[in-house]
Amino acid sequence: MISDAAPPSQRHLAKHSGSGRTVPDRPASPDRHALFLDVDGTLLKIAPQPDDVRVPAPLLALLRRLEGRLQGALALISGRAIDDLDRLFSPLILPAAGVHGLERRAADGAVHRTSSTDRLAALRPPLHQFAGARQGLSVEDKRHSLALHYRSAPEYEAEAETFLRGLIDDNSSSLELKRGKMVLEVMPGGANKGAAIDAFMEEAPFRGRTPVFIGDDVTDEDGFAAVNRHGGLTLRVGAAAETAAVFGLADEDAVFAWLESWCTAEGGGKAE
């Protein structure tokens, strides 16, 4: 589906592709673009547990090359905490937005965080008790948010959502529930990946460039909307009935191949 929020140039490109979300040509001038990348489900295949994920050496090498090609205008936009991203992608340290924008590290190394720990304190004991009583559920404490994973026990999805919404109603109206792929996450309201991308676009080396954002999940939709407003290029990985992304890529391997094309040849398509 092509969103009405997409800039006219993107709607025109998609129309001439002959279908809705098609694979775009690589940008003709990567040195004039800023690249924003989701991690799980986009760069990396989703694992049963977040700690099971590993970054393949070819991907790490590709990101290093892209960072140079884009003159530093490359950022990770993830639900993971920044410390976790640094652990995964070590020794590469990139600008990053973590916990869906609740924390953000600019290109100059300055870290901006939303103070939210106290608002989550009352939720920790009952959430751990709920998950501990149901085999297959696990709690990921990101300090600024609490994520309940049910990939190993999808039968608990409805019960888990009802429980979390009740926790929020009982403890704080300033908290919100975000849905992801087999995960429910409680976090302070107001922060999202789109706001994080907007903040990056105000700073060097991202300022003045055309943004590109690749993501795979409903939590990436705010990012797609923001990049569309900036006249950029939006790509969603995998199938999605409703999305603001104009283009699409089949899976993580297709993402790697598309990104690699930025580094293997000069010039390219017309998706600017």
Instruction: Provide the annotated active-site residues.
Output: 38
Question: Which of 204, 197, 211, 222 has its CA nearest to residue 271?
Answer: 211
Encode 132-162: b = buried (16+ Cβ within 10 Å), e = exposed.
Answer: eeeeebbbbebebbbbbbbbebeebeeebee
Which parts of the chain fold into alpha helices (H)? 8-17, 57-69, 82-89, 117-121, 124-132, 157-171, 193-200, 221-229, 252-264
Under 8 Å between Cβ of 229 and 244: no
Q: What is the spatial distance between Cα 75 and Cα 38, in angstroms, rounded to a whole number?
A: 9
Under 8 Å between Cβ of 219 and 193: yes
